[in-house]
Amino acid sequence: MADAQSQDREITRRRFCNGLLLTSTGLLFAATTPVSEAAARQEPLLAYPPLRIEGAERLMPGSSLYFVYPRATDPAILVRAEDGQYYAYSQRCSHMGCSIYFERASRRLECPCHKGAFNTQTGFVLNGPPLRPLDLIVLQIRAGGEVWAVGRGVGSTDRKCQRPASAEAVSERVAMRQ
Ligand code: FES
């Protein structure tokens, strides 16, 4: 039984690594860029109706823009890294939901509420009280350099995705609860 379960997990990982996105309905379709990041995060992904991110193809490396996905009430952020690659996440901080922003100087996604910071290329926590990565938005690059959002992570619970809590972060969390 345990063998069958670990085999299933391995197959799922291989599917992601082959650039396929498993949707909630069991459909598979080709996806591009951050699937490898999703695989690294071992995060379940849900497909949503594709949405073209207006203006993304004109975004300068080292900058960002805001959009909404998958619903009009779901704020999201798209970052174009210095190497031209695109990364997108829910704009809601995984700690308490404040709006994160891209800090160009540090090249990190930062949260103003409790100094949370996330890696732009993975969404992993770099600093502060958040315990899990940002929710990933899956992108597709289409003809003409158009950037489309096509799915979204549903939040990772994989402890390997989290940095070990520093004594400072733990005491900050305790102080916040008081
Ligand atoms: S809400 Fe972002 S660090 Fe607390």
| pLDDT one digit per residue (tens) for the chain, 178 residues | 444 444 433 333 333 333 334 333 333 333 444 445 555 566 688 899 999 999 999 999 999 999 999 999 999 999 999 999 999 999 999 999 999 999 999 999 999 999 999 999 999 999 999 999 999 999 999 999 999 999 998 764 333 333 333 334 333 433 333 3
- The pLDDT value recorded for residue 153 is 84
Q: How many domains does the chain have?
A: 1
Q: CB count, 10 Å around CB of 30? A: 11
Domain range for 148 is: 45-155
- The pLDDT value recorded for residue 33 is 42
Q: Does residue 129 line the site of ligand 1, with CB under 6 A?
A: yes
**Does residue 61 form part of some domain?**
yes
- Gap from CA of 22 to ligand 1 centroid (Å): 30
**Does residue 30 form part of some domain?**
no
- Gap from CA of 109 to ligand 1 centroid (Å): 11
**Does residue 10 form part of some domain?**
no
Reference 142, options 58, 31, 8; nearest CA is 31
**Does residue 2 form part of some domain?**
no
* Best residue for ligand 1 mutational test, from 91, 92, 95 (most atoms within 8 Å of Cβ): 95
**Does residue 40 form part of some domain?**
no
Decide if 34 contacts 123 (C-beta within 8 A).
no
**Does residue 119 form part of some domain?**
yes
3-state secondary structure of 75: strand
Helix, strand, coil in percent for the chain, rounding step 5? 25, 35, 40
**Does residue 134 form part of some domain?**
yes
- The pLDDT value recorded for residue 84 is 95
> For the domain that residue 65 is a member of, what is the CATH number?
2.102.10.10
**Does residue 102 form part of some domain?**
yes
Q: How far is CA 123 from CA 134, 151, 176, in A?
A: 5, 15, 23
